[in-house]
Amino acid sequence: MSFTDIMKSLSDGFSVTLMIFGITLAASLPLGLVFTFGSMSKILPLRWLTKFVVWVVRGTPLMLQIILIFYGPGLLNWDLKFSRLNAVLIAFIINYSCYFSEIYRAGLESIPKGQYEAGQVLGMTKPQIFFRVVLMQVVKRIVPPMGNEIITLVKDTSLARVIAVTELVKAAEDIISHYANIKVYIYIAVFYLAFTALVTWLLHLAEKKLSYYSV
Amino acid sequence: MAFLEISNIKKSFGKTEVLKGIDFTMEKGEVLVIIGSSGSGKTTLLRCINFLETPDSGSITVNGENLFKAGEPYSDREKREKRLHFGMVFQQFNLFPQYTVLKNITLAPELREFKDKKLSRAEKKALSLQIEKNARLLLETVGLSEKAASYPCELSGGQQQRVAIARALALRPDILCFDEPTSALDPELTGEVLRVIRGLKSSDRTMIVVTHEMNFARGVADKVIYMADGVIEEFGTPDEVFGKPKSDKTKAFLSSAKD
Ligand SMILES: Nc1ncnc2c1ncn2[C@@H]1O[C@H](COP(=O)(O)OP(=O)(O)O)[C@@H](O)[C@H]1O
Ligand SMILES: [Mg+2]
């Protein structure tokens, strides 16, 4: 297998990796906020339910969650079947929403009560206080922990191969099992490194942009 | 009828009764200073007046308009309107860190003026300019004109507190409340804040000031309340309260505050 052919196969795998990464991120960032509001809700059953879901998801391996979502419905004779890729995306989105929601919650809880009260005595409405006073402070505080999670997500995408979704690692393994070319592992390491370096740099830019004030 | 009438304000947290029936009145342009040892309920009283806490009983009337009567349900919207009769300066300043000094002052007036109103672009612009002009005047009043573009983290505590005063004034409250405005400051920074408050007195601002600065209190007050254990233990002119206190508790407090 020529180098160009190898690169072509790896690129196909990498595009699946990128897709899992991008869709998970795009869906989990907002969905995490929904989980946060659920876990801070005044409606007790909703709060308990959200906290229970977050507890289960954070307490079990993502790999297991992918397997359960893909094979679970069939084993239970449910009339529900996800494609391999959809099962992966569902598992990733739920998993990352839970982790993000905890970061959001910690961020929200770290804002001093005085900020809300200052908004209140200045006659602001609750949405105004949230969007104009609190939100940017939360964003600033959560960029570093969110960055860690996002870097982890880059690497977690490789778990998709557990149900035979051909992302980057699976693409490499397929080549290696045929051609026993161990260098392919080095190539994909370079793919991951380049990708995480790009993400790290973007996060660094975000942090820098927010560094004009301190909270 | 007095400008501000506070009657029979009571407030408990759980089983502890923090305010046990507070009554007082004050006139327009007066400065009322509240002193008392920590835990006596001063902050809770200011928070009740500013609708940050809901009293269990009592009523609050400003300029003949009843703002609060215990037991009556108030919507968030009503509370917002009513609390604008009062301004509040907190011990911890509570400036918004992500905004410049100027924006800290203009934010609330802009949100208020622009909300629920259909304004043309030109009208908005004119209104913005108006609000900004007023904010700059207020910054001048507190002596911080040159800091308009700074962020709170770039200011000293004393400067931050002066911005907080300007921010509260921007909404033109009838009565401005201060909760120990200098307690979080290094001693060398208290002077500049107290000077600003004295300046406001000479322009006839109606103010309620909770403070531990006894000399300042005596100098700036028209009326003094000494609070102890959730009641008004002593009420009178500074000369009465500081010069010839009637109650033993007041005497004990004042002599301990001297050293
Ligand atoms: N939100 C609250 N929950 C429970 N207790 C409170 C609360 N706020 C104040 N207290 C209690 O009320 C008492 C009076 O507090 P405060 O009004 O802050 O007094 P001061 O400002 O005179 O020091 C204190 O014993 C305090 O612990
Ligand atoms: Mg206090």
- Whether chain A has a CB inside 8 Å of the CB on B90: the answer is yes
User: Is residue A114 a part of any domain in this protein?
Assistant: no
Pick the atom of ligand 1 nearest to B179's CA.
21
Q: Predicted confidence band at A76 (pLDDT cuts at 50, 70, 90)?
A: confident
**A16-30, A72-86, A159-173, B232-246: which range is least confident on average?**
A72-86
Residue A199 resides in a domain: yes
Most ligand 1 atoms within 8 A of CB, residue of B12, B13, B20, B50 to mutate: B13
Contacts of A135 in chain B (CB under 8 A): none
Q: How many helices (H) and strands (E) does chain B have?
A: 9, 10
pLDDT (tens digit per residue) in B54-64: 999 999 999 98
**Model confidence band, residue A112 (pLDDT cutoffs 50, 70, 90):** very high
Q: Is B43 in the pocket of ligand 1 (CB under 6 A)?
A: yes
Measure the CA–CA gap between B60 and B58, rounded to whole angstroms. Answer: 7
Torsion of CA B218, B219, B224, B227, to 10 degrees: -50
How far is Cα B79 from Cα B123, in angstroms, rounded to an integer? 28
How much of chain A is in helix, strand and coil states, percent to nearest 5? Answer: 85, 0, 15
State the pLDDT at residue B116.
65
Least confident of B137-141, B201-205, B208-212: B201-205
Kindly state the tokens that stand for B79.
């509370």
Distances (CA, A) of B37 to B18, B43, B253: 13, 11, 7
Q: Is the CB of B211 under 6 A from ligand 1?
A: no
Q: State which residue of chain A sits closest to B53, comparing Cα positions.
A: A117
Inter-chain residue contact B83 with A215, CB threshold 8 Å:
no
Name which of B215, B182, B201 is nearest B91 in CA terms. Answer: B182
Q: Is the pLDDT of residue B16 over 90?
A: yes
Gap between the Cα atoms of B24 and B22, Å rounded: 7
Residue B203, pLDDT score: 87
* Portion of chain B with pLDDT greater than 90, in percent: 75
CA distance linking residue B255 with residue A96, whole number of Å: 61
Q: Is residue A110 part of a domain?
A: no
Q: Count the neighbouring beta carbons within 10 Å of the beta carbon of residue B246.
A: 13
Residue A189 domain-assigned? Answer: yes
Distance (Å, whole) CA B62 – CA B27? 10
Mean pLDDT of A112-140: 94
Q: Is the pLDDT of residue A198 over 80?
A: yes
- Residue A86 domain-assigned (yes or no): yes
pLDDT average, residue stretch B68-94? 91
Nearest to A121 among B88, B111, B115 (CB): B88
The residue contributing the CA closest to ligand 1 atom 7 is B13
Q: What is the pLDDT of residue B259?
A: 59
Give the predicted TM-score (pTM) of the model.
0.87
- Angle of CA points A116, A111, A25, to nearest 5°: 115
Q: What is the mean pLDDT of chain A?
A: 92
If you average pLDDT over residues A122-145, what whole number do you get?
93
Is A34 a member of any domain? yes
pLDDT over 80 (residue A129): yes
* Domain carrying residue A88: 3-104+119-212
Mean pLDDT for the stretch of residues A189-195: 94
pLDDT tens profile B89-141? 999 999 999 999 999 999 999 998 887 677 788 888 888 999 999 999 999 99
The mean per-residue pLDDT over the stretch A51-66 comes to 95
Please indicate whether, in this complex, the C-beta atoms of A132 and B107 are within 8 angstroms of each other: yes
Whether A65 is covered by a domain: the verdict is yes
pLDDT at B236 over 90: yes
Mutate which: B111, B153, B154, B171, vs A, most A CBs within 10 A = B111
**pLDDT tens-digit series, residues B167-201:** 999 999 999 999 999 999 998 899 999 999 999 99
Query: Which residues touch A184 (CB under 8 Å, ≥6 apart)?
Result: A6, A10, A172, A175, A176
Ligand 1 contact, B18 CB (< 6 A): yes
pLDDT grade for A165, boundaries at 50, 70 and 90: confident
The enclosing domain of A46 has a CATH number of 1.10.3720.10
Nearest atom in ligand 1 to B41's CA: 17
Examine the pLDDT at A80 and tell me if it is beyond 70.
Answer: yes
Q: How many CB pairs under 8 A join A and B?
A: 63
Q: Is residue A109 part of a domain?
A: no
Bridge partner list, B35: B226
Q: CB of B44 closer than 6 A to ligand 1? A: yes
In the 8-state DSSP scheme, what is residue B97?
T
Tally of domains within chain A: 1
Q: Inform me whether the pLDDT recorded for A180 exceeds 80.
A: no
Question: Could you tell me the pLDDT band of residue A161, with boundaries at 50, 70 and 90?
Answer: very high
pLDDT value of position A38: 93
Element (H, E) at B49: helix B42-49
Whether the predicted pLDDT of B25 surpasses 90: yes
Domains of chain B, earliest start first? 4-96+157-162+173-258 (3.40.50.300)
CB contact at 8 A, A160 and A88 = yes
